[in-house]
């Protein structure tokens, strides 16, 4: 009976997608990210100077609108190269390849920030379900599922020792009016945070909130009145 109720309310969709994403992908690739970044940094010492950014930055748009080409999503995001790939045998596929792309993100001061970044691919499934009559997903239900996906994934990763400090979840709700460089600003905001954290550690001081030009409101990921999530940002934005 509980299973039928869950299926009718679609509560199991985002939860299952988050666990599948973690077990079938993130748990495999995240423990190897820092090694790939370190190898690249040795060959290119001037690009990845901040070790705190040596992680996979995962984009979680609550609209579930995922671009296959980040350069088309925002012209301030430029592909640089692919990091060292990992090859494993998985579920009958010989030499399955896992790799991440490194990008240069240009900020409002024309400074370049380098990081590995990609979308959370399960969001494509949520979007496709909302377009398929068989799934009967409304736009509102899709939004709630995206929020639940983010919160579930966040909790899973927080409890994962293998993935500790190897990822950065970047959840955002896009502005109603299209902004040309919204995505690059979101990514740079987090890179600045990581940069300030590293400086604070080296100096032995408390990290300071970076001064940014962002004006997007703090995301509200509330699922229900009795189950309030923590805000994504704590600096007042």
Per-residue pLDDT tens digits of the chain, which is 237 residues long: 444 544 445 557 899 999 999 999 999 999 999 999 999 999 988 888 888 999 999 999 999 999 999 999 999 999 999 998 888 888 888 888 999 999 999 999 999 999 999 999 999 999 888 887 666 677 888 899 999 999 999 999 999 999 999 999 999 987 666 678 999 999 999 999 998 887 776 666 554 443 333 333 344 444 443 343 344 443 433
Unique residue bearing structure tokens 């639940």: 148
Question: Pairing mode, if any, of strands 86-90 and 77-82?
Answer: unpaired
Which of these, 30, 50, 24, 13, lies nearest to 158 by C-alpha position? 30
Report the sign of the C-alpha dihedral through residues 172, 177, 181, 185, in that order.
negative
Domains and CATH numbers, the chain: 14-205 (3.40.50.12100)
Phi, psi of 56 (to 5 degrees): -90, 120
pTM for the model stands at 0.81
Q: Are 229 and 151 in contact, with CB atoms under 8 Å apart?
A: yes
Structure tokens at 9: 């309310």
């Amino acid at each position: 009976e509980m299973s039928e109720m869950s299926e009718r309310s679609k509560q199991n969709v985002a939860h299952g997608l988050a666990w599948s994403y973690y077990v079938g992908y993130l748990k495999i690739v995240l423990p190897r990210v820092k090694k790939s970044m370190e190898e690249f940094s040795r060959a290119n010492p001037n690009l990845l100077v901040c070790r705190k950014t040596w992680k996979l930055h995962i984009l979680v748009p609550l609209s579930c609108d995922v671009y296959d080409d980040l350069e088309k999503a925002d012209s301030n995001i430029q592909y640089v190269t692919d990091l060292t790939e990992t090859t494993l045998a998985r579920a009958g596929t010989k030499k399955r390849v896992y790799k991440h792309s490194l990008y240069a993100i240009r900020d409002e001061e024309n400074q370049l920030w380098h990081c590995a970044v990609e979308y959370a691919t399960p969001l494509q499934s949520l979007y496709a379900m909302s377009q398929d009559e068989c799934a009967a997903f409304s736009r509102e239900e899709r939004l709630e599922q995206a929020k639940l996906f983010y919160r579930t994934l966040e909790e899973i990763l927080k409890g994962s020792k293998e993935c500790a400090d190897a990822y950065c979840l970047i959840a955002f709700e896009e502005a109603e009016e299209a902004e040309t460089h919204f995505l690059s600003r979101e990514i740079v905001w987090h890179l600045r945070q990581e940069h300030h954290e590293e400086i604070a550690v080296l100096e032995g001081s408390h990290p300071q909130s970076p001064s940014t030009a962002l004006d997007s409101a703090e995301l509200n990921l509330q699922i229900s009145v009795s189950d309030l999530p923590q805000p994504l940002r704590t600096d007042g934005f």
